[in-house]
């Protein structure tokens, strides 16, 4: 079963359970998937769905930071609960050590050296680690690998 099918099944389950918070978040995710399919005229595979989930989680993190700064804990809590629902659709994340090891391997494989090769390395790393690691962690690992 594809990830998109799993999300649709979870939506049906949330409807039956009358879990309105979870249902709203799942509908939001499915709408984002449908929008991507319509805009790009493609059928989404699991990697593309994971990328959408990652994007939505990043939006939630940014919103939480803004709401906490504005002293709106009620809204921050709502975003936090949505983020928890979205995180259930992500694959198991790699640890920082695993990310660093993979990045070092890719740097060696490409023969990259110095900060000038960061773009070349990031292109390969993004393709290989998409959905498996948070890109902020990956970027830091690439900088560290190219610096040392």
Question: Does 36 score more than 90 pLDDT?
Answer: yes
Q: Average pLDDT of 117-138?
A: 77
Question: Which domains can be identified in the chain, with CATH numbers?
Answer: 3-87 (1.10.1510.10), 96-147 (1.10.10.410)
| Per-residue pLDDT band at 25 (split at 50, 70, 90) | very high
Mean pLDDT over residues 24-46, rounded? 92
Q: Is 45 left (phi over 0), alpha (psi -120 to 50) or beta?
A: beta
Q: Would you say residue 148 has pLDDT above 70?
A: no
Percent of the chain beyond pLDDT 90?
48
Q: 5 exposed, middle or buried (CB, 10 Å; 0-12, 13-18, 19+)?
A: exposed
CB atoms closer than 10 angstroms to residue 54: 18
pLDDT of residue 134: 77
For 73-103, what is each residue's pLDDT tens digit? 999 999 999 999 999 988 887 777 787 888 8
Q: How many CB atoms lie within 10 A of CB 98?
A: 14
Flag whether pLDDT at 53 surpasses 80: yes
């Amino acid at each position: 079963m594809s990830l998109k099918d799993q999300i649709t099944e979870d939506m049906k389950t949330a409807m039956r359970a009358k879990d309105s918070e979870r249902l709203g978040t799942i509908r939001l995710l499915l709408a984002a998937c449908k929008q991507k399919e319509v805009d790009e005229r493609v059928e989404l595979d699991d990697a593309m769905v994971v990328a959408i989930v990652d994007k939505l989680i990043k939006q939630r993190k940014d919103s939480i930071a803004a709401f906490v700064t504005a002293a709106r804990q009620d809204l921050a809590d709502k975003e936090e609960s949505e983020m928890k629902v979205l995180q259930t659709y992500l694959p198991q994340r790699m640890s920082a050590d695993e990310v660093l090891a993979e990045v070092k391997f890719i740097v060696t494989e490409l023969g990259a050296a110095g900060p000038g090769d960061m773009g070349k390395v990031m292109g390969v790393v993004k393709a290989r680690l998409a959905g498996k690691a948070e890109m902020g962690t990956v970027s830091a690992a690439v900088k560290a690998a190219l610096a040392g």
